[in-house]
Structure 1
Amino acid sequence: MDIDQVIRVHSSPICNILREATCQQNHLTGQAQSPGQITNHDTGSESLTLLSPSIKVAMSSSSSDLKPKDAKPSQGIQHSGEGVSDVRRGGLPAPLLLMVSRSAVYYRLYTTLGAMKSNNPIYVNDPFISRTLARLITPPHTALLVKNHLLKIEGFARETPCTLFESLSNQTAIEDNSTRLSIKGQSGPGLTEDDPVALVVEVQDIENRSASEGQPNALPDANLHYLYYRIYDPDGALASRTSFDRTDDFLGRVDTRSIAPPHSVASVEAYIRSAEGIANTTIQMFENTSGGSPLNDRILPLFSQDFPGSMKDEPIAVVCEDVLLVVDPRLFKPIKVKTTFRPSDANLPLWLSITAGDTLHTDLAKMNMAYIGGIQSCSGYMAMNSAGQEGFVMDSFLESAESL
């Protein structure tokens, strides 16, 4: 069963609980209730949908369409001042709450250089976050068994060396593989997409990873949280590969949850190096572009409201002694651009801005990419421009590959 499907409950004890809660509510409000009626929470429908922070539970004789995103905690458990749960507004009676357990374990994949795309993404604009059903993980849910399951569904061999963090905010990985994790209760690791578990593998093990068997269509958008930065060499500012503002090519940003734990300055530096394709140069980072306060190697509170680089107008500064672009050996084939195209802000930096007459380099490996705001996915290639920026380009915007 798909993780976004509701769990159908046909249990008379639950019905009785709901009847009792509704009777108590009607007693307080003075409303009459027909014998045997549960509630008219859904007018004209036989279903009653109950929302908790990480699970949707429904009693229904017919299926209904639900939003793919999980309910936020503020939409979940609500209790009135008199101690009676407001069923009409989505609240759960206390006895029923005890019968509900979460179904999903959220996770992110990393190498030491930063985030790695999941084979099972759940958002179109954040391919790094995913989830699995808790019931698919072998009991008794030790750290080793959780790692084995995540490795399997992400295309890695069981013997792949890896470390597991219970939370992105944890500064140390789980050292004892026999540690049991509470993955089926209303607390514990991987409870929400904002606080997933993190699996970190070595960079070299990516080569042995099995490819994805295909991605689902019509994925929703994720709510991303960014760290903003500007990158410099001795001659001045450099165009960023992660630029998103078409009026400012020098301002870059990265999703904070794409930075591998622990969130030290060294981890941020490693991810920016990878995102910008720079190597063999000394980097110094400053809290802002005035250069007054260098960022020494410490833990950064990337999930707080205020951290260095949390605001677009106050990015951190990344200063390089020299900049050497990392040449991607996959993108070896030159190809000419025949159509100028500027992707919308929502599609940057996944899509590459191109100008007619430019020469790009690509591997000519056909792939499909969704365009936010478009009707269907588009066919094209991953390509790199002369500035070292990499992104997707539709094949119809390029000269014929057969002519090269």
Structure 2
Amino acid sequence: MTSFVSTSRSRSSYARSLTQDSLSSPGGYQTGPRYLYYRLYSKDGPIQSHNPIYHNDPFIGRILPRHITPPHTGISVKNYLCNVEGLAGATSSALFESLSCQAALEESAQLSLRSHHGHGLLEDEPMAVVVEAHDVRMRQAARDGQSKELTDADLREYRYVYYCIYNKDSVMPSKMSFIPDDNSLGRIDTLSIAPPHTVASLKRRIMNAEGVINQTINLFKDTDGEALMNETDHIYFLDPLASYPGQTEDEPIAIVCGAVFQESRGKDKERQGKDGKRRRRDEGRRREDSDTQLRETRRVDGERELSHEINDANHALSRRFKVTPTRGSLSYSPGWLALKTDEIMHTDGIRTSSKFKTLAGWRACYGYIAINSTGQTGFVPEHAITFL
């Protein structure tokens, strides 16, 4: 792709010259107040500021750095900006040194805010705060009357991303169209894209602008559709000397909705069908196992009741035995006693049977109904018994 060079004055050059012309003394030092300029975003797009500078650009705000609690770090600046913007309860937020930065500032990072240089000095190069979309819905309202004293911003050079949006059959009308006789071509302002500026953030902004919900979309570098855009790739929207996909009306990017989603939905249905069969099979096995355990528990309970009747008839559990080591206690089987090596128990000496579960299913096991040292009654397999 050829490099794009702006033929008009860049916004950065304009802002710098404005600062030098209006805020500098003859010696070259700024004499006006030092502001921190910033823009607010959710991950879906821009958020209007509670501290706007202009009527015609309500998305940029500014504050005096001396109002921020020292030390001036990433976390203190972020907390102050969220607080004055009614977002103090934000569950997640990120602070960017500028709109073109590809990574958020560390919360412990020291920021230069006092001198007439450093972070957020120019409205053309503001800092940025990005919050979650659901936090915007819980945002506190702005104070009334603040916008009455605002002026209009000077005209700026707009930089757009142009695109066409498609479903599986054809191009669709764009909600962001701007040509009366061609509603298929849409565009968004690059300043409306939340940092970091990646294909993923561009994709999310366009989905929000077009109202695309619950669909998978693919972005292509042009309408030929030969080059799929990677969501992790960085895009330099604000560099006047850089080019980017969709920079001109004649070379829009292509956004395809639904095709991958439909295929994915078909695979999901097939997977859900297989999962449903597997769940029904597992539930059937669990019910079978549960019924078997219930029958076994009732049988053992009957043996316990019979044992108590024997005791009542003065047929005491008089035979003593010692628990011997086994390959497994099998204490998880319903109605079985937990076994402890060398523990002394008592039984009536009447041999009976019970069942236990293995990987191959339920199997029978011979043993005795016994009472342990804590007074609990239950089944003990005979291979764990040594009579005394």
TM-score range, shorter chain: 0.5 to 0.7
Partners in 1 of 2:23 and 2:87 — Cα distance? 40
Partners in 2 of 1:322 and 1:211 — Cα distance? 40
Partners in 1 of 2:19 and 2:212 — Cα distance? 45
Partners in 1 of 2:33 and 2:213 — Cα distance? 43
CA deviation after TM superposition for structure 1 residue 160, in Å: 4.2
State the Cα deviation string for residues 250-278 of structure 1 (Å, max 9, x = none). 22111112111111101110111111110
Report the AA paired with residue 72 of structure 1.
Answer: A
Alignment of 1:110 with 2:47, yes or no, is no
Selected match of 1:299 from 234, 245, 257: 234
Specify the alignment match of 1:56 in structure 2.
none
Selected match of 1:225 from 156, 159, 162: 159
**RCO (CA 8 Å, sep 6+): is it higher in 1 or 2?**
2
- Matches of residues 385-400 of structure 1 in structure 2 within 5 Å? none
Question: Residues 283 and 320 of structure 1 are in contact (CA less than 8 Å); yes or no, is this contact kept in structure 2?
Answer: yes
Selected match of 2:105 from 174, 180, 192: 174
CA deviation after TM superposition for structure 1 residue 146, in Å: 0.9
- Matches of residues 258-337 of structure 1 in structure 2 within 5 Å? 258-297=192-231, 298-305=233-240, 306-321=243-258
Partners in 2 of 1:246 and 1:233 — Cα distance? 22
- Matches of residues 238-277 of structure 1 in structure 2 within 5 Å? 238-277=172-211
Q: 1:227 to 1:139 in 2, by over 3 A?
A: same
Report the AA paired with residue 321 of structure 1.
Answer: G
Alignment of 1:92 with 2:29, yes or no, is no
Q: Which runs of 5+ in 2 are unaligned?
A: 1-12, 262-388
Question: Residues 162 and 252 of structure 2 are in contact (CA less than 8 Å); yes or no, is this contact kept in structure 1?
Answer: yes
Of structures 1 and 2, the larger Rg is shown by: 2
Q: Which runs of 5+ in 1 are unaligned?
A: 1-69, 79-88, 325-404
Selected match of 1:74 from 17, 22, 25: 17
Q: 1:194 to 1:76 in 2, by over 3 A?
A: closer
Specify the alignment match of 1:137 in structure 2.
68
Q: 1:76 to 1:166 in 2, by over 3 A?
A: closer
Specify the alignment match of 1:186 in structure 2.
116
Specify the alignment match of 2:93 in structure 1.
162
Q: 1:273 to 1:141 in 2, by over 3 A?
A: same
Partners in 2 of 1:255 and 1:293 — Cα distance? 23
State the Cα deviation string for residues 289-337 of structure 1 (Å, max 9, x = none). 222322222001111232111112221111112699xxxxxxxxxxxxx
Question: Residues 23 and 31 of structure 2 are in contact (CA less than 8 Å); yes or no, is this contact kept in structure 1?
Answer: no
Partners in 2 of 1:154 and 1:254 — Cα distance? 24
Question: Residues 165 and 171 of structure 2 are in contact (CA less than 8 Å); yes or no, is this contact kept in structure 1?
Answer: yes
CA deviation after TM superposition for structure 1 residue 241, in Å: 1.3
Partners in 1 of 2:19 and 2:49 — Cα distance? 28
CA deviation after TM superposition for structure 1 residue 107, in Å: 0.8
Q: How many pairs are equivalent?
A: 242
Partners in 2 of 1:157 and 1:76 — Cα distance? 32
CA deviation after TM superposition for structure 1 residue 159, in Å: 6.2
Specify the alignment match of 1:37 in structure 2.
none
Partners in 1 of 2:181 and 2:143 — Cα distance? 38
Question: Residues 15 and 123 of structure 2 are in contact (CA less than 8 Å); yes or no, is this contact kept in structure 1?
Answer: no
Q: 1:219 to 1:289 in 2, by over 3 A?
A: farther
Partners in 1 of 2:198 and 2:23 — Cα distance? 40
Question: Residues 233 and 323 of structure 1 are in contact (CA less than 8 Å); yes or no, is this contact kept in structure 2?
Answer: no
- TM-score, length-normalised on structure 1? 0.54
Q: 1:122 to 1:225 in 2, by over 3 A?
A: farther
Q: 1:274 to 1:148 in 2, by over 3 A?
A: same
Report the AA paired with residue 78 of structure 2.
Answer: K
Partners in 1 of 2:129 and 2:230 — Cα distance? 26
Question: Residues 102 and 184 of structure 1 are in contact (CA less than 8 Å); yes or no, is this contact kept in structure 2?
Answer: no
Specify the alignment match of 2:327 in structure 1.
none
Report the AA paired with residue 277 of structure 1.
Answer: G
Report the AA paired with residue 133 of structure 2.
Answer: V
Q: 1:200 to 1:72 in 2, by over 3 A?
A: closer
Partners in 2 of 1:302 and 1:144 — Cα distance? 27
Partners in 2 of 1:309 and 1:190 — Cα distance? 28
- Matches of residues 7-26 of structure 1 in structure 2 within 5 Å? none
Question: Residues 15 and 124 of structure 2 are in contact (CA less than 8 Å); yes or no, is this contact kept in structure 1?
Answer: no
Question: Residues 101 and 196 of structure 2 are in contact (CA less than 8 Å); yes or no, is this contact kept in structure 1?
Answer: yes
